[in-house]
Amino acid sequence: MTDRTTRPADHPTLVLPGSPVSRRRFLTVLGGTGLGLVACTNGSGSAGRAPAPSPRPVAIPLAIADAGPPPALAAPEDRVLVIVELSGGNDGLSTVVPANDDEYRRLRGDLALDPDEVHWLDDDVGLHPRLERLARHGVATVEGVGSDRPDLSHFAMEERWMRGDVRGTTAARDSVLARLTAAVSADGRPFGAVSVSGTTHHLSASPYAVALSDPDALWFLRPDLEWPEAAGLRGAWAAAGSDRAGDVLLRRSAAQLNDLAARLSSGGVVDRDWEDPLVADSGPLGPGLALAADLIEAEVGVRVIHASLGGFDTHDGHAWAHDDLMHQLDLGIGGFLDRLDERGLAESVVVATTSEFGRRLRANSSGGLDHGTASTMLVAGAIGSARHGEPSSLTSLDADDNLIATTNFDRYLASLGQEWMGVDADWLLPEAAEPLGLWA
């Protein structure tokens, strides 16, 4: 393994063409694909113009500027973490259900799920009836996860989860996933993470990540695209513009896409199969997770993947809305786990859910559940089926009638980062957080 302690000094900033960079560093930054790079960097005006001067050197601060040297890895380098963000605030009690609990049945009334339909994990809780595939594969649950100083704003809690900032007390900081990716990215690779669901900000600021909106658009990156202009476009877009900060970022985006194209091509991933059931019939998570499976199999250096599923903000008509969401979750993650099994990859991949908060215990007049606090996370793949954390009390509530978290969510992130990926939690998170022993 390379000596990681030297890495930050090696590239404290990204430097774009025009500055005296070494060829190796230059290829690292721009992806090393060679796609159109000659045309771009020489800027040779073949229409009789003098060569255009390259843009002046521009330094982009790295996202992990404040992080210090990434620690040595304490886990095998083939491990992959797939985060599935349940956006809007997923109701933990409807996911891992204490279906026979009298207090649960009383508080939830019409929304209480049928004990005969849940997939029992033990005598106390069962998985939601629609989580059939997950029940078959087996999952670990992490219960009572939230913050000991909760906030009921989506956006405040999303931000806290993103930074691992459990009480919202830390100033602007890189996302946990960006740090994790920086720590596990192999040398010489400009990214080790892919977001397959677009609008996330977990990874969008990281120079080590590519936030794709939608795998459907990947066809544009095909090296053999039957559209000769594409190569010209892909060459030009990584070279255009001035030294404005935004222009620099846009060139970086273009260079990342060119790099992705090369890696997809070298891994044989570029041909998307639209008939693939995981792409075509497995709900909104399916296409992104199908791409994730291909990226993992291709061994192109991607070790952190982020996907998201929206719609969990069930203020109205929780019963049917959440039922459908659980089905979508099951189709997506279940199909992904099937795919990993088929390809013999199941031992090296963990899928873990996150969600900004859980939901209120009692329903409102719309048959919905307003914003809550603690929730339950699911971890599947290379992990034993077991229950972790501790369920929140249904009788002792906080001042807003919400569940009291038993397990701060930074401990959950510490487990995923340190226990699974081998990156020191103290480096990943703003405050000390003890891992939960999910793989103990």
Partner 1 sequence: MTLLRRRIPTEDRTDDPWSRAARLHARTSMAVAPERVDELAERSWSDAVALVLGADDPDPAVPEVSDSGDGWETTAAWWLRRMADPDGGLGEYMTWFWHELLPVETWKVDLAPLLADYLRTLRVHALGTYPELLRAVVTGGAMIRYLDADGSVASNPNENLARELMELFTVGRGHYTEDDVKAGARALAGWHVEYETAEVVFDEVDAFVAPLIFRGVQARWDLDAVLDHLVADPSTAVRISSRLHRHLTGVDPVDPAELGRWWAGTGLSIRPLLERILTTVDLGDPALGRARSGVEWWAVTAGALGIDADDLWQVDQTRQRPFGPPNVAGWPTGAHWIGPGPLLGRASVVQNLDLDRADLDGLTAGDVSVAIDAIGRRLCVPAWSDATRAAMTTAATNPGFGDDHGARTRLLIRLALLSPEVALP
Residue closer to partner 1 by CB (options 1, 50) is 50
Question: What is the enclosing helix (H) or strand (E) of 13?
Answer: strand 13-15
Phi, psi of 364 (to 5 degrees): -90, -175
Helices 286-298 and 245-266, interaxial angle, to 10°? Answer: 70
Between CA 300 and CA 269 the distance in angstroms is 10
User: Which of 106, 149, 201, 343: binder of partner 1 (CB under 8 A)?
Assistant: 201
Tally the residues of the chain: 440
In this complex, which beta carbon is closest to partner 1, that of residue 108 or of residue 411? 108
Report the nearest approach of partner 1 to the CB of residue 264 (Å).
12
Of positions 110, 155, 226, 396, contacts partner 1 by CB under 8 A: 155
Q: Is residue 320 a contact point for partner 1 (CB under 8 A)?
A: no
Build a one-symbol-per-residue string for 370-399: x at contacts with partner 1 by CB under 8 A, - elsewhere: xx---------------------------x
Per CB under 8 A, which of residues 394..433 are in contact with partner 1? Answer: 399-400
Residues 15-44 that bind partner 1 (CB under 8 A): 39-40, 43-44
Give the tokens for residue 316.
């109205």
Please tell me whether residue 204 binds partner 1 under the rule CB under 8 A: yes
Q: Which of residues 84-123 bind partner 1 (CB under 8 A)?
A: 87-88
Give 165 or 338: the residue with its C-beta nearer to partner 1. 165
Rule CB under 8 A: say whether 284 interacts with partner 1: no
Q: End-to-end CA distance of the chain, in Å?
A: 25
**Span from 4-12, 21-29, 205-213, 382-390 in contact with partner 1 (CB under 8 A):** 205-213
List Cα–Cα distances, 325 to 120, 139, 321, in angstroms.
19, 18, 6
Q: Which of 28, 90, 195, 353 binds partner 1 (CB under 8 A)?
A: 195
368 binds partner 1 (CB under 8 A): yes
Alpha carbon distance 299, 344 (integer Å):
13
The span from the CA of 424 to the CA of 245, in Å, is 33
Closest of 428, 408, 409 to residue 418, by C-alpha: 428
Residue 241 CB, nearest distance to partner 1 (Å)? 3
* Interface of this chain with partner 1, residues 211 to 270, rule: CB under 8 A: 211-214, 216-221, 227-230, 232-233, 235-237, 239-242, 244, 246-247, 249-251, 253-254, 256-257, 260
CB closer to partner 1, 228 vs 344:
228
Interacting positions 175-194 with partner 1 (CB under 8 A): none
Please report how close the Cβ of residue 32 comes to partner 1 at its closest, in angstroms.
Answer: 16
Site for partner 1 in 45-74 (CB under 8 A): 45-47, 49, 51-55
Q: Assess contact for 340 and 293: CB atoms under 8 A.
A: yes
Total of residues contacting partner 1 (CB under 8 A): 75
The torsion angle over the Cα atoms of residues 320, 325, 327 and 331, rounded to 10 degrees, is 160
* Residue 249 C-beta: closest distance to partner 1, Å: 5
For 323-393, list the strands marked E by DSSP: 349-354, 375-381, 387-389
Return the structure tokens found at 78: 């083939």
Dihedral through CA 159, CA 160, CA 165, CA 169, nearest 10? 80
Beta bridge partners of 15: 59
- Which residue number, 251 or 303, has a Cβ lying nearer to partner 1? 251
Residue type, 229: E
User: Is residue 284 within 8 Å of residue 335, measured between CB atoms?
Assistant: no
Measured from the CB atom, the residue of 20 and 53 that comes closer to partner 1 is 53
Residue with tokens 């030294």: 243
Interacting residue with partner 1 among 61, 68, 198, 384 (CB under 8 A):
198
Residue 226: count other Cβ atoms within 10 Å of its Cβ.
6
Q: How far is the CB of 414 from partner 1 (least distance, A)?
A: 27
Dihedral class, residue 173 (left if φ above 0, else alpha if ψ from -120 to 50, else beta): beta
**Alpha carbons 75 and 177: distance in angstroms, whole number:** 17
Distance of closest approach, residue 317 Cβ to partner 1, in angstroms: 9
What is the nearest approach in angstroms of partner 1 to the Cβ of residue 403?
Answer: 15
**CB of 214 or CB of 271, closer to partner 1:** 214
Q: Which is nearer to partner 1, 314 or 415 (CB)?
A: 314
Q: Which is closer to partner 1, CB of 136 or CB of 244?
A: 244
Q: Which is it for the CA torsion 123, 129, 132, 134, positive or negative?
A: negative
> Does 170 engage in binding with partner 1 (CB under 8 A)?
no
Helix ranges restricted to H, 138-228: 154-163, 176-184
Strand partners, 143: 389
Please select the residue that binds partner 1; options are 93, 210, 293, 319, rule is CB under 8 A: 210
